[in-house]
Amino acid sequence: METTVLSDTAPLDLRLSPDELETTRDHILEFLRSIVDDAGAEGAVLGLSGGIDSTTVAHLAVDALSRKNVHGVVMPSEVNTDQNMSDAERVAEDLGIEYDVVEIQPIAEAFFDAFPEAADDRLAAGNVYVRTRGVLNYFVANAEDKVVLGTGNRSEGLTGYFTKYGDQAVDCNPIGNLYKQQVRQLAAAMGVDEDLVMKTPSAEMWEGHSDESEMGLDYDTLDAILAMHVDGPLSKSATVDHLGVTDDQVDRVVELYERSEHKRHMPPAPEPLDI
Ligand SMILES: Nc1ncnc2c1ncn2[C@@H]1O[C@H](COP(=O)(O)OP(=O)(O)OC[C@H]2O[C@@H]([n+]3cccc(C(=O)O)c3)[C@H](O)[C@@H]2O)[C@@H](O)[C@H]1O
Ligand SMILES: Nc1ncnc2c1ncn2[C@@H]1O[C@H](COP(=O)(O)OP(=O)(O)OP(=O)(O)O)[C@@H](O)[C@H]1O
Ligand SMILES: [Mg+2]
């Protein structure tokens, strides 16, 4: 049975045609091979969360690089659900890749002990888990001569919905040009199990965390506004009319986009002086 990756309430269908999907997949496989070849690396490492982004990138990496050259790292903390962590292990087992399970709670606790007053800040503490995973990914990559694969998609990139130097600390983003809806579509086409394809997206930075509740938008609405207004040519009022979304929803997406501009660039320095 085919998985329907589009919700009934999606304002816009951004799914690719079968030909476009195949071309896109081939393009990503080629991209992955050239990233690894150009780096003179032995393969790739990535964090496995049981979510659809890392699951999709793991499948693509195996197709591009072969399973023996892909290393998965599952990094539970006390805010991850057992279900997600066992899904992450299932992905690695099903793909037949090497993987490790590394408990990061003790590492995060060392940071929390160093700055107890900051540990009470839910977001600051959540970012510690995310950045700790980035350090461990690079620990493996350095030691095994591998590159680190990112799992960021276009929806996250344009809204800045990632931790600076955390899950963004990677060598490439194979699915970085796909909206979330298209990631689900690609995953389904590659045979990823439906429960993973349709799982509620979560950064799991605190208990009960969900991307859509934190952003105040569901991904199908977010994707539609990004495609029509932020990436596309429609004005705000045309976007509202065309998609049947609200002014507030468009404003929210634009706010997320604008305030995360700094995350999409190298850290700036003053212009060189002519002295
Ligand atoms: N204008 C500006 N110019 C230069 N730097 C600026 C800046 N504004 C803030 N900053 C810096 O950026 C920092 C804030 O950015 P950052 O540290 O990233 O933290 P922040 O954006 O506050 O939080 C990360 C967001 O990404 C979400 N996330 C993270 C990780 C994974 C996922 C997921 O989907 O799995 C989602 C998370 O739920 C949260 O909404 C500030 O503390 C400051 O250092
Ligand atoms: N517990 C974890 N163990 C290993 N890697 C993790 C863990 N949590 C997050 N990551 C890494 O951080 C990335 C960003 O998380 P994010 O939640 O955006 O993606 P996802 O979990 O793959 O998919 P979804 O967004 O649908 O939840 C993951 O794709 C994964 O590479
Ligand atoms: Mg997740």
Average pLDDT over residues 266-275: 96
Nearest ligand, measured from the Cα of 49: 2
Amino acid at 120: D
Cα separation of 164 and 19, whole Å? Answer: 35
Does the pLDDT at position 1 exceed 50? no
Q: What is the pLDDT of residues 186-237, one digit of tens each?
A: 999 999 999 999 999 999 999 999 999 999 999 999 999 999 999 999 999 9
Q: Which helix (H) or strand (E) holds 47?
A: strand 43-47
Q: What is the pLDDT of residues 40-78, one digit of tens each?
A: 999 999 999 999 999 999 999 999 999 999 999 999 999
Q: Taking phi first (over 0 means left), then psi (-120 to 50 degrees means alpha), and beta for anything else, what does residue 43 get?
A: left
pLDDT the model gives residue 2:
58
Strands of the sheet containing 146-148, edge to edge, are: 98-101, 70-74, 43-47, 146-148
pLDDT category, 4, cuts 50, 70, 90?
A: confident
DSSP 263: G
Q: What angle do CA 24, 26, 31 make, to 5 degrees?
A: 95
Atom of ligand 2 nearest to the CA of 50: 21
Where is the binding site for Mg(2+), in residues? 53, 156
pLDDT the model gives residue 6:
85
* Helices and strands, counts by H and E, the chain: 13, 4
Supply the residue whose CA is at minimum distance from atom 31 of ligand 2: 47
Whole-model pTM: value is: 0.98
Q: Taking phi first (over 0 means left), then psi (-120 to 50 degrees means alpha), and beta for anything else, what does residue 192 get?
A: beta
Nearest ligand, measured from the Cα of 78: 2
Q: Are strands 70-74 and 43-47 parallel, antiparallel or unpaired?
A: parallel
Average pLDDT over residues 240-262: 98
Cα separation of 216 and 227, whole Å? Answer: 18
DSSP 210: -
> Which residue among 45, 53, 184 has the greatest number of ligand 2 atoms within 8 angstroms of its CB, and so is best to mutate?
53
Q: Which residues pair with 45 in a beta bridge?
A: 71, 148
